[in-house]
Amino acid sequence: MADLPPELLESLKVLEPGQAARIRDALVPVAGELGPRELAVLDRLARGLASGAPAAELNAFVRLLPVTVSRAVSPALEPVKA
């Protein structure tokens, strides 16, 4: 299992600890697939979550991710997106 990039861990600091932990745990299995583009999208997603962005905007960020990454992170977002 790969470690998560430090820039992703920094991005998640804007979230509540429980929410950040759920997303972090969901992303560990796909950490090897996280390149600069995915990290930028996940940063925008974290900032959107922190600022209370509408569900449609959050879903748009998730759709920008590769399928394996979006499938991994989506369940961690369900309480927010519902």
Residue 2 corresponds to which tokens in the numbers above? 């790969």
Tell me the average pLDDT of the chain. Answer: 91
pLDDT at residue 2 in the model = 62
pLDDT at residue 77 in the model = 85
**Domain residue ranges in the chain:** 6-81
pLDDT at residue 82 in the model = 45
**Whether 49 contacts 60, CB under 8 Å:** no
Q: Packing angle between helix 36-51 and helix 67-81, nearest 10 degrees?
A: 0
Rounded Cα gap, residues 10 and 25, in angstroms: 15
Rounded Cα gap, residues 29 and 32, in angstroms: 8
pLDDT at residue 54 in the model = 93
pLDDT at residue 1 in the model = 46
Provide the sign of the torsion angle of the four alpha carbons 33, 22, 40, 56, taken in this order: positive
Per-residue model confidence as pLDDT tens digits over 23-61:
999 999 999 999 999 999 999 999 999 999 998 999 999
% of residues, the chain, pLDDT over 70? 93
Mean pLDDT of 69-75: 94
Rounded Cα gap, residues 2 and 67, in angstroms: 18
What is the reported pTM?
A: 0.89
Can you say how many angstroms the Cα of residue 9 is from the centroid of all Cα atoms in its chain?
10
